[in-house]
Amino acid sequence: MERIRRASHAGSWYTDNPKKLAEELDGWITAAGLPKSSDVRGVIAPHAGYSYSGRAAAYAFGNIDPTNISRVFLLGPSHHYYTPKCALSTATVYKTPIGDLPIDLEVIEELKATGKFELMNLRVDEAEHSMEMHLPYLVKVFEGRSVKVVPILVGALSAENEAMYGKLLAKYIDDPQNFFSVSSDFCHWGSRFNYIHYDKKYGAIHKSIEALDKMGMDIIETGDADAFKEYLSEYDNTICGRHPISVFLHMLRNNSTRIKIKFLRYEQSSQCKTTRDSSVSYASAAAKFVSVLNCVLVIRLRRETIPPGDDNGYESFFDRAKLSDCEVIRHHCKFVLHQDMQSLGTTIGFLN
């Protein structure tokens, strides 16, 4: 029996005119001017109304090469329905003004069988906007191709549950036919959001907000879920997709494919100058496959940063050099200097 999730926010959060919507999406993707890459395995993208965040979202979705992808996992926060778990859609198809996306019922059943997921009814599903705002972009990117979606509503998870769901879902990243679309806005600033953190050393309020957001973005790029949790605990930044992002970081920690997140765009809905103002921040990122060979080549190119005769191991090198490009190695690989080839500046990596 077909169970249809309507495009419940079309006509308000974004246009319900198919021609206009397709033209808007094409225009934003073209303006972003990003090359499509088969190495992109996931994105973090905003979910506000398209008049606010549509352009920023293009910097995430514009990276996607759809050629080998047949399944998209959607991870979105719950804004209206409380659950301490993750919930699966009970729909069989998600509709948009420019095309429909069938649900991968086989994977839904596989996840249900773990006993770790709730089910959300159509009323809850249609009330939530966080995943719906990604759907038109996905339809546009995968236009003419057969792709199914696995919508997962991420509730108010404990740190333990974030780690648990991350481990449970990690295996799906290793299949290059799978893609992950993680939904989140960043700082919601102003009295109407009950959040007015302001560090005056940055000058204008909007600059303080940007510094706060970019501190979090930098941590997300390292892939360190624990550091992200500490950041949220210290600053309580109102990142509404904190739980989906945390689950995704735990997935990257527990899978066998090396994925690195890189933020490509940051915007604010307005520039706050007084405490009477308010804004929401939007950040878009791509999560790309990184081969160990590429990491080794990066080290080789920068080998001169290691003083001659330094054989104290890879850890001291990374601590001193602080090469963000190589953080993926620090977390996932052991590196030793091959004594016989040291004069050639070569580093050989071994996976844990």
Based on the fold, state whether residues 300 and 322 are members of the same structural domain: yes
Look up the domain containing 318 and give its range: 293-351
Q: How confident is the model at residue 280 (pLDDT cuts 50, 70, 90)?
A: very high
pLDDT digits (tens, 9 = 90+) for 110-136: 999 999 999 999 999 999 999 999 999
Based on the fold, state whether residues 298 and 153 are members of the same structural domain: no
Q: Which of 290, 306, 335 is the last residue of a domain?
A: 290
Based on the fold, state whether residues 123 and 200 are members of the same structural domain: yes
- Look at the alpha carbons of 335, 338, 344, 349 in this order and tell me if their dihedral is positive or negative: negative
The domain that holds 285 is classified in CATH as 3.40.830.10
Q: Which of 87-91, 161-165, 337-341 has the lowest mean pLDDT?
A: 337-341
Whether 322 has a pLDDT exceeding 80, the answer reads no
pLDDT digits (tens, 9 = 90+) for 19-36: 999 999 999 999 999 999
Instruction: Supply 47's token pair.
Output: 């979910």
313 three-state secondary structure: coil
Q: Beta strands 178-183 and 40-45: pairing type?
A: parallel
118 three-state secondary structure: strand
Whether 184 has a pLDDT exceeding 60, the answer reads yes
Based on the fold, state whether residues 248 and 301 are members of the same structural domain: no
Q: Which of 196-210, 218-232, 322-336 has the lowest mean pLDDT?
A: 322-336
Based on the fold, state whether residues 268 and 135 are members of the same structural domain: yes
Q: How confident is the model at residue 1 (pLDDT cuts 50, 70, 90)?
A: confident
Cα gap 132→251, rounded to integer Å:
23
pTM of the model: 0.85
Whether 233 has a pLDDT exceeding 70, the answer reads yes
Q: What mean pLDDT do residues 285-289 have?
A: 97
Q: Which of 241, 262, 290 is the last residue of a domain?
A: 290
Bigger pLDDT: 290 vs 320: 290
Q: How confident is the model at residue 292 (pLDDT cuts 50, 70, 90)?
A: low
Cα gap 145→138, rounded to integer Å:
11
Bigger pLDDT: 144 vs 339: 144
**What is the number of structural domains in the chain?**
2
Based on the fold, state whether residues 249 and 268 are members of the same structural domain: yes
Cα gap 111→146, rounded to integer Å:
22
Q: Which of 200-204, 238-242, 314-318 has the lowest mean pLDDT?
A: 314-318
Percent of the chain with pLDDT over 70: 83
Q: Which of 269, 290, 311 is the last residue of a domain?
A: 290
Mean pLDDT comparison of 117-121, 303-307, 337-341, highest-scoring range: 117-121
Whether 8 has a pLDDT exceeding 60, the answer reads yes
Q: Beta strands 93-96 and 188-189: pairing type?
A: unpaired
Alpha carbon 164 to chain centroid distance?
18
Percent of the chain with pLDDT over 90: 81
Based on the fold, state whether residues 176 and 269 are members of the same structural domain: yes
Based on the fold, state whether residues 219 and 318 are members of the same structural domain: no
- From 68, 78, 150, select the one nearest 108 (Cα to Cα): 150
Q: What mean pLDDT do residues 182-211 have?
A: 98
- From 195, 199, 246, 203, select the one nearest 225 (Cα to Cα): 246
